[in-house]
């Protein structure tokens, strides 16, 4: 006689089947532990065990203070000459949004000076923000711009919340991607907190330089994407994009 399945396994099987059948769509919030405990007539510890297994299988993810959500399919994110966050998200059927973390005028570091073709310690605007696909954090970005060339760009960035819209005010709407370098990293505690993931989770760093029609750098960006939430697609039809090998830190 076969041994009956553990209660948590039965709950796991039921929820897995409901997710597969579309009862819980990608991004949907599952009932709370208390509600599931009542539904299955078990204690919350048993429910927690079932949800943990589903999380390990990649079917759901927990967001601190918000609940447990069905994991959405990775966002298809093309990288080409005209890489635009808002366009990419809308094309993928997701709602884009951005939360500004910091925007300041600073002296450029060596890497920023080289990328933007500026003297050492040149004045730059640095914007740090979290970008969302629907309500799920997708990336953590740090973008740098020459403050001398784009005076009051910080005001435009705060007003529009968009790099493309802000640069439009300075004639830089048609900026192009010159280079992209992708490397693998693991989330540190600060990145994990902003992106609502576990410390050590896989990230993909996209380090990019955007230029204007004359070939002058307009933006140097370092964007950390959550590896499980995005599918970076190199658009071969877009000439001018170069990508180095992906590495793991």
In the chain, what are the domains? Answer: 7-70 (1.10.10.10), 75-244 (3.40.1410.10)
**The pLDDT of residue 147:** 96
Number of H helices, E strands in the chain: 8, 11
- Check if the beta carbon of residue 134 is closer than 8 Å to that of residue 227: no
pLDDT at 162: 87
- Written as six digits, the tokens of 64 are 């601190």
The pLDDT of residue 171 is 73
pLDDT the model gives residue 236: 61
The 3-state DSSP class for residue 20 equals helix
Beta bridge partners of 232: 77
Full-model pTM: 0.74
pLDDT score of 136: 80
The pLDDT assigned to 245 comes to 34
The pLDDT of residue 174 is: 78
> Cα(133)–Cα(86) distance, rounded to whole angstroms?
10
Q: Do 212 and 172 touch, CB atoms closer than 8 A?
A: yes
Structure tokens at 191: 């990145």
Using alpha carbons only, what angle is made at residue 44 by residues 46 and 20, rounded to the nearest 5 degrees? 65
Per-residue pLDDT of the chain (249 residues; tens, 9 = 90+): 444 568 999 999 999 888 878 888 877 899 999 999 999 999 999 999 999 888 877 788 888 788 998 887 788 898 888 888 888 899 888 889 999 999 999 999 999 999 999 999 999 999 999 999 887 889 999 999 999 999 999 999 999 888 888 988 887 667 889 999 999 999 999 999 999 887 888 899 999 999 998 899 999 999 999 988 888 988 764 434 443 333 333
DSSP 170: T
């Amino acid at each position: 006689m076969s041994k009956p399945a553990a209660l948590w396994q039965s709950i796991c099987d039921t929820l897995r089947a409901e997710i597969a059948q579309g009862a819980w769509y990608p991004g949907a919030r599952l009932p709370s532990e208390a509600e599931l405990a009542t539904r299955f007539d078990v204690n919350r510890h048993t429910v927690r065990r079932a949800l943990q297994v589903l999380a390990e299988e990649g079917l759901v993810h927990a967001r601190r203070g918000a609940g447990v959500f069905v994991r959405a399919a990775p966002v298809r994110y093309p990288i080409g000459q005209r890489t635009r966050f808002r366009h990419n998200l809308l094309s993928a059927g997701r709602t884009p949004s951005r939360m500004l973390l910091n925007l300041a005028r600073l002296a450029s570091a060596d890497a920023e000076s080289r990328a933007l073709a500026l003297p050492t310690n040149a004045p730059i605007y640095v914007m740090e923000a979290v970008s969302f696909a629907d309500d799920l954090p997708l990336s953590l970005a740090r973008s740098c711009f020459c403050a001398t060339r784009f005076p009051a760009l910080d005001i435009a960035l705060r007003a529009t919340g968009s790099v493309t819209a802000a640069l439009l005010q300075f004639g830089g709407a048609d900026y192009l991607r010159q280079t992209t370098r992708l490397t693998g990293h693991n989330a540190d505690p600060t990145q994990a907190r902003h992106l609502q993931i576990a410390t050590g989770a896989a990230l993909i760093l996209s380090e990019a330089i955007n230029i204007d029609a004359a070939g002058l750098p307009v933006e140097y960006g370092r964007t950390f994407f959550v590896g499980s939430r995005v599918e970076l697609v190199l658009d071969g039809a877009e000439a001018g994009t170069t990508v180095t090998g992906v590495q793991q830190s």
